[in-house]
Amino acid sequence: MELKKRMSFRNFIGTYFNNHAETSEHHYNASLQSRYFKTNKTNALAALEEMLHKSGEFSIHAISEEHGEISAHKRKGKKAFMVITVVMVRPYRTAIDFSVTTESILPFDFGYSSKLIQRLYNQLEQELPLVDKH
């Protein structure tokens, strides 16, 4: 029981007293676990590019269709740099992962980077059909 308390405290510290967040397959925070969409890599990259352009708060730095990556800066509000990775694991099952670093004079962002990822996932779910993880 003691280990669980220590781990959850460590997770709390890692979420709120850090300026970086990224998604992964088995993330301890369910809202930061990789999400899978029913699309191919090309369509996912196009949907991401359109979503970032339409928002007006991001500027795309580079797009690599070959590597399935988009790098962008959040230029309105709090500044952040992000890399979005798109991997087609099988036909019409594509994983999209985010890596976000908040630009700040402090070494932490009070969970801003995690909240930005969650917001972007929610917007993306409006554009692409989500599939179950299994």
Q: How many domains in the chain?
A: 1
Residue ranges of E strands in the chain: 20-22, 35-37, 58-64, 69-74, 80-90, 93-102, 130-131
Lookup result for tokens 């991001």:
58
* Structural domain span for residue 121: 2-131
Q: Provide the CATH number for the domain around residue 97.
A: 3.30.310.220
Average pLDDT, the chain: 86
d(CA 8, CA 104): 25
Task: Summarize the confidence of residues 42-66 as an average pLDDT.
Answer: 95
Which stretch of 56-65, 100-109, 115-124 has the lowest confidence by average pLDDT?
Answer: 100-109
Q: Radius of gyration over alpha carbons of the chain, in Å?
A: 15
More confident residue, 14 or 32: 32
